[in-house]
A and B are shown apart, each in its own frame.
Chain A
Amino acid sequence: MRLPGGVFSQSYFQDLAVFRTGPQWFCFVLFMVCLVLLPILFGSYFLSIVSVIAITIISVHGLNLLTGYCGQISLGHAAFMGVGAYISAIMVNTYEISFWIALPCAGLGAAFVGMLFGLPSLRIKGLYLALATLAAHYIIMYVISHAGDITGGTAGMEAPRPTFFGLRLDSATGYYYLLIGMTFLMTFFAKNMARTRVGRNFIAIRDNDKAAEIMGISLFRYKIMAFGIGCFYAGVAGSLWAHYMTVIDPDHFLLINSIWYVGILIVGGMGTTVGVFFGVIFLKGIEVAATEAGPMIAKMIPAIGNTIAASLAQFVLALIIILFLVYESRGLAHRWELIKASFRIWPFPY
């Protein structure tokens, strides 16, 4: 990270800090205050968008650790989210266990399934691994939708909202604060995980796995660990999603969702924590805009009919992902660095 002029590290502790300058702290605190005040300032529609954004951020953090840092391609992230969602729903609904125990259990269960399907990653990579995770997606979703006795099959399953020390989080606002808290916590861990020994080993494996192994990094251990951590995030996000929606069915976890998660990572910038935020907020914003614009276009040009409303968002999102891959494959995080750099060195060109 490039620092502004005049800021020096005088101790190791300072060098480690994520926020270095006063303005950075100011922006962070302002951002958090805005998030806390959001339900008072805006309506429930906006709140629901921010809630979905928060859940997606948690899920994509996991994919970022797995794909962005460790380089293991996963096209089955939505299915791992589904595993977490169903574990949590079954524990709370069928066995009446508290949500606060079900939440970490959902993460651990998804992590276990993820590690199981991550086992082939030791022998295969690239396209083969992508196809293996794609196969994992279909197999997991097949099991979920055919185990009707346990999961409710295609009819879906109820997942009631949790309580917090006797305080019911039934309302959208109450659950929103839970989501914000969880997102903060998970972001904190993701950011710091990437800076520790584990994260550096992930990066080494991504950049050159043979060289990493020669340097003494156990490929088996760290690849499986990457799948475990990535899918733990997916499981937690899935659990939060289940209790946010209160009813889940297999259609919530389609292959196209997995593709969107990887797309978010590409648009935001792989292997950066801030890129996850950029990607999710940017693509979700576009999706909301397209969903709003769809019926308007259908009204203006009746010849295309109502089908445009359903497919416009997909069309625009897919186009954006393709354009990013062709013209800016390092994503918005890279753009952001360039903008910051141009402010820092202004008025000189370098």
Chain B
Amino acid sequence: MIDFVQYLSTGLMTGSMYALLGVAFVIIYKACKIFNFAQGELLLLGGFVSWTLLAQGYLPFWLTVFLTLCLAFALGFVIEWFPLRSMVGQPILSIIMVTLGLSILLRSVFLTLWGATLRPYPEIFSPKPLELGPFIFSQQHLWSFISCIGFLSIFALFFRFTSVGLIMRAVAEDQILAKSTGARINRYIGLSWAIACVISSIAGIFLSAINGVNIGLAEYGLKAVAAALVGGLESIGGAVCGGLIIGLAEVLSTAYLGHGISEVAAFVILVMVLIIKPHGLFGLSKIERV
């Protein structure tokens, strides 16, 4: 029983990363109906840039995070401007291929600049595990879980209570109506990309603080797409749930079915959900007319 609770908590903490990435995916999808397969590379950006600033620039952690997120914010606007602005409304295959192409492009740039070796991240959180009664938590996981919830609530409040957040929700709801009220659509879609980039970079910083930074971290991006789909593409809450489900599935399958299976656990769950409930657990099923 203690083991199970332990696995459960580890699963939720792993899942919180997928939840963050899934939310980034859903924000972009809702704003402009583009599926961002380059999520994993935006995550790498956070990891690599913050690693460089920390390990080679010797900057304090808070300044590193701030600078990395500023860069991610700018990059979001850039990739919205090219190539994705012209892809709105194109066939689905084109959209998928543009973001897949973008992901390979970014990955080759990272490979050129930082190489393929695993780079250990400077210690930010104490590696000493935290003991609460019979349970043991790794401090790194715990802190990233808490910050994850913190960031998610900040973004939720941002969308709920600020006027910019309100306009962004309006753009996601109905672009033509939003346009007729005078909102500059492109600017807000760009802002959605920027916010999604920032969220991915946050996840990237935490993941590389836990695992060290390496080009292989991009795998998380595809699993996050799976998380967003499991939750249903339309809802941010669904993406959080999907992320947690996938995180739990990975940890529990490793614990009870053996090592190595966690690589495919996310995709097995995805296929099962797609067969049973094609529009995800919280998605809206669209009625199509000819």
Contacts and interface: CB of A to CB of B under 8 A. Distances in A.
Given A139-B267, A214-B290, A259 B108 contact: no
Contacts of B112: 304, 307-308, 311-312, 315
A321 B93 contact: no
B101 A318 contact: yes
Nearest to B222: A134
A75 B267 CA distance: 13
A43 B22 CA distance: 51
Given A67-B93, A307-B116, A322 B267 contact: no
A147 to B, nearest CB: 12
Contacts, number: 131
Contacts of A321: 97, 101
Interface stretch (B51-59, B154-162, B235-243, B271-279): B271-279
A310 B82 CA distance: 25
Interface of B is mostly: helix
Contacts of A132: 270-271, 274
Given A308-B112, A329-B90, A131 B229 contact: yes
Nearest to A123: B278
A171 interface: no
Contacts of B290: 208, 210-211, 214
29 contacts: A120-B274, A120-B278, A123-B275, A126-B92, A127-B35, A130-B92, A130-B93, A130-B96, A132-B270, A132-B274, A135-B268, A135-B270, A138-B264, A139-B267, A208-B290, A266-B94, A307-B112, A308-B112, A311-B109, A314-B104, A314-B105, A314-B111, A318-B101, A318-B105, A321-B97, A322-B102, A322-B105, A326-B87, A329-B90
Given A119-B275, A123-B275, A135-B271, 6 more contacts: A73-B93, A124-B278, A208-B290, A211-B290, A311-B109, A326-B82
Give the 5 A-B residue pairs with the shortest CB-CB distance, closest first: A135-B267, A311-B108, A318-B104, A315-B108, A318-B105
Interface of A: 67, 73, 75, 119-120, 123-124, 126-128, 130-132, 134-136, 138-139, 142, 146, 208, 210-211, 214, 256, 259, 262-263, 266, 270, 304-305, 307-308, 310-312, 314-315, 317-319, 321-322, 325-326, 329
